[in-house]
């Protein structure tokens, strides 16, 4: 493991890493994702404050139960991860208050779970994770995931869904409208809101260039 990626809590990250990722072929939720979310969380925490130890544990364990995007259990993934995280941290003799704080942050981070983040650490984790779904990383992960799920790039008969409902299970381009372009409005921290707007504009710029290149701009 690259110790610098989880500075200044690399020893704790190394302790939690064996529990962080279940065997999976999902390259959108792998070690590099954890590294990016931690980088985002540290950036936000530097402005917003918050408990770094709780944040690091929440980042490391927020995807510790692997549930595919197209699974009917997807909305339960963060609750399942929080339960597993509580078991892991209990075996490591963490205080119950910190276990509860980590668990709430993990439960509330998920877009599909719809759980309100009540603590600063939960707000930071939610923002840090969602930043990875915006900007150029959001573009890359969206097309990567669509490829894994067997989706088409877009509907050749109606790319902008002017005469049909959006269906991001079939068309990758639809996912920009069903989720990605709506994320920036829901950020919880001031620092997160600022960074989200920057990455939101990058998403919009990509979408305009994409439409231009398929002849519909």
Compute the mean pLDDT over every residue in the chain, rounded to the nearest whole number: 92
What is the predicted pLDDT for the residue at 71? 62
What phi-psi label fits residue 21: left (phi over 0), alpha (psi between -120 and 50 degrees) or beta? beta
Burial of residue 84, with CB atoms counted within 10 A of its CB: 0-12 exposed, 13-18 middle, 19 or more buried = middle
Spell out the domains of the chain, with CATH numbers in brackets. 3-119 (1.10.3210.50), 135-213 (1.10.3210.50)
Question: How much of the chain exceeds pLDDT 70, in percent?
Answer: 94
Q: Is 152 helix (H, G, I), strand (E, B) or coil?
A: strand
Mean pLDDT across 47-70: 91
pTM confidence score: 0.91
Query: pLDDT by residue (tens digit) across 141-150?
Result: 999 999 888 9
The position carrying tokens 């409902």 is: 165
CA 8 to chain centre: 22
Which of 9-13, 53-57, 70-74 has the least mean pLDDT?
70-74
Beta carbons within 10 angstroms of residue 10's beta carbon: 15
Q: Is the predicted pLDDT of residue 123 greater than 80, yes or no?
A: yes
């Amino acid at each position: 493991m690259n110790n610098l990626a989880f500075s200044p809590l690399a020893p704790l990250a190394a302790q939690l890493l064996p529990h962080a990722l279940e065997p999976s072929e999902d390259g959108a939720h792998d070690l590099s994702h954890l590294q990016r979310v931690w980088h985002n969380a540290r950036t936000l925490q530097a402005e917003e404050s918050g408990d770094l130890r709780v944040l690091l544990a929440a980042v490391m364990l927020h995807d510790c139960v692997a549930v595919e995007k197209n699974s009917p259990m997807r909305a339960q993934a963060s609750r399942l991860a929080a339960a597993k995280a509580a078991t892991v941290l209990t075996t490591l003799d963490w205080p119950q208050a910190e276990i509860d704080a980590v668990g709430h942050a993990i439960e509330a981070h998920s877009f599909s779970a719809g759980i309100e983040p009540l603590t600063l650490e939960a707000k930071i984790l939610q923002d840090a994770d969602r930043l990875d779904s915006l900007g150029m990383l959001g573009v890359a992960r969206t097309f990567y995931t669509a490829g894994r799920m067997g989706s088409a790039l877009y509907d050749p008969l109606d790319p902008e869904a002017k005469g049909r409902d959006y269906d991001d299970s079939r068309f990758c381009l639809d996912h920009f409208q069903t989720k990605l372009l709506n994320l920036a409005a829901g950020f919880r921290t001031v620092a997160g809101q600022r960074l989200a707007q920057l990455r939101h504009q990058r998403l919009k710029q990509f979408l305009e260039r994409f439409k231009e290149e398929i002849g519909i701009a």
